[in-house]
């Protein structure tokens, strides 16, 4: 009887702790949803900005480059700093930069002002992603793949919603109406302040004990770890260069090739990004079960048949192929990120910042290069070139299988 009475409070406490952790994961996914909804308004506005400010494709690419580089260069530094000195209230501060950027973008009537505005949004992203990823790791209860996927699915759902909102609000009513989305930033700040309280009282979760760290660390040499990280970075390059062609130029491709309206092109972009959101949750849980290496292999190399067919398809089949590409390709990032965190245990924030930063950086550089290529040739040629990028996924064969080594 004494054992039962003693166990009941422990069980109750454990249940409360689990519920608290789940609530944090859901709150993080929700704030990621709001954050990426606001960020996705930037590429969704490109047709509007191109027409009103008379921009060329190179300038469109520079907008993406400014936004992505302001995010990518800061993210590893933010992650490295907060690994040493956790900053519980940094999420709300970062969202404040996003709020400033949105308000500024709604009133930007020249190209330099647009660049400054998206730069502020990029700074907000630089703070948000490594810190929120660290919190997802802290609240995972050991199911790191599931936690990262739940976190990612919120962001990708928000990214898919941006073009649809732009088609309904910004395209018909004008650029100034971006300011209405600042309400989403204010909501996110309120939620983040509540998350920060949990963060403040649970920072011990992110500090692994030495004994645990030794058990978790794969038996690999430093050279093999660096080599494996290099392969992962090349795979990130492949994924995000291709994603840049879709997120920045897919609407222009559809308008140029199939002569659809701007609003119709935004709907097709929404279909692609919704497929990305729907497929995001697959990579983490499946990676927890079968191994992350196999998920990485399938999610990048498996896109190649569809990407190679896309430039030669009709409008209907272009939409269908984009769904397959979105679902398969989206499962890669969660698996890559957790795989890298397992390669370098104890550096969760730094690795998250490095890989989120590289993802943003590759998307920005890719957008700028592809914009220049489109001006020099055509949008159709851009998609013919990018079709071969997923073939880089064959490099996954050189990654070690960490699950077997741990066993």
Q: Which of 156, 127, 153 is nearest to 357 (CA)?
A: 127
Burial class, 404, CB count within 10 angstroms (exposed 0-12 / middle 13-18 / buried 19+)? exposed
Q: Residue 363 — pLDDT band, cuts 50, 70, 90? A: confident
Query: Quick one: pLDDT at residue 379?
Result: 92
Least confident of 207-216, 254-263, 333-342: 207-216
Neighbours of 329 (CB within 10 A): 28
Residues 6+ positions from 372 with CB-CB distance below 8 Å: 57, 58, 61
End-to-end Cα separation, the chain, in angstroms: 39
Tell me the CB-side half-sphere exposure of residue 299, using CA atoms within 13 A. Answer: 31
171-212 pLDDT per residue, tens: 788 888 889 999 999 999 999 999 988 888 776 665 544 444
Domains along the sequence of the chain with CATH: 2-406 (1.20.1250.20)
Neighbours of 293 (CB within 10 A): 20
């Amino acid at each position: 009887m004494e054992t039962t009475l003693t166990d009941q409070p422990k069980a109750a406490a454990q249940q409360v702790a689990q519920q608290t952790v789940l609530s944090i994961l859901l709150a993080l996914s929700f704030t990621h949803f709001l954050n990426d909804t606001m960020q996705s308004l930037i590429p969704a506005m490109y047709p509007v900005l191109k027409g009103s400010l008379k921009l060329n494709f190179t300038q469109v690419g520079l907008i993406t480059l400014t936004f992505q580089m302001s995010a990518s260069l800061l993210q590893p530094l933010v992650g490295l700093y907060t690994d040493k000195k956790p900053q519980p209230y940094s999420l709300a501060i970062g969202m404040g930069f996003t709020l400033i950027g949105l308000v500024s973008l709604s009133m930007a009537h020249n190209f330099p002002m647009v660049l400054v505005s998206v730069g502020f949004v990029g700074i907000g992203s630089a703070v948000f992603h490594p810190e929120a990823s660290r919190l997802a790791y802290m609240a995972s209860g050991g199911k790191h793949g599931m936690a990262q996927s739940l976190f990612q699915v919120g962001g990708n759902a928000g990214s898919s919603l941006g073009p649809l909102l732009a088609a309904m609000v910004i395209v018909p009513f004008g650029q100034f109406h971006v300011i209405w989305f600042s309400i989403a930033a204010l909501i996110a700040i309120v939620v983040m302040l509540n998350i920060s309280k949990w963060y403040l009282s649970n920072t011990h979760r992110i500090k692994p004990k030495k004994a645990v760290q030794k058990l978790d660390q794969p038996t690999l040499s430093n050279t093999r770890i660096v080599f494996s990280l290099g392969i992962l970075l090349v795979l990130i390059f492949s994924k995000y260069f291709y994603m840049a062609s879709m997120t920045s130029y897919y609407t222009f491709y559809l308008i140029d090739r199939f002569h659809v309206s701007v609003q119709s092109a935004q709907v097709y972009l929404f279909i692609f990004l919704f497929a990305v959101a729907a497929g995001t949750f697959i990579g983490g849980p499946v990676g927890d079960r079968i191994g992350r290496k196999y998920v990485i292999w399938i999610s990048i190399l498996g896109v190649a048949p569809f990407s190679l067919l896309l430039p030669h398809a009709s409008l209907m089949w272009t939409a269908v192929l984009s769904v397959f590409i979105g679902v398969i390709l989206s499962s890669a990032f969660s698996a890559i990120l957790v795989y890298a965190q397992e390669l370098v245990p104890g550096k969760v924030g730094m690795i998250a910042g490095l890989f989120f930063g590289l993802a943003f950086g590759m998307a920005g550089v890719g957008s700028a290069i592809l914009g220049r290529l489109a001006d020099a040739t055509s949008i159709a040629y851009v998609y013919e070139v990018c079709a071969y990028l997923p073939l880089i996924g064959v490099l996954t064969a050189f990654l070690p299988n960490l699950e077997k080594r741990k066993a």
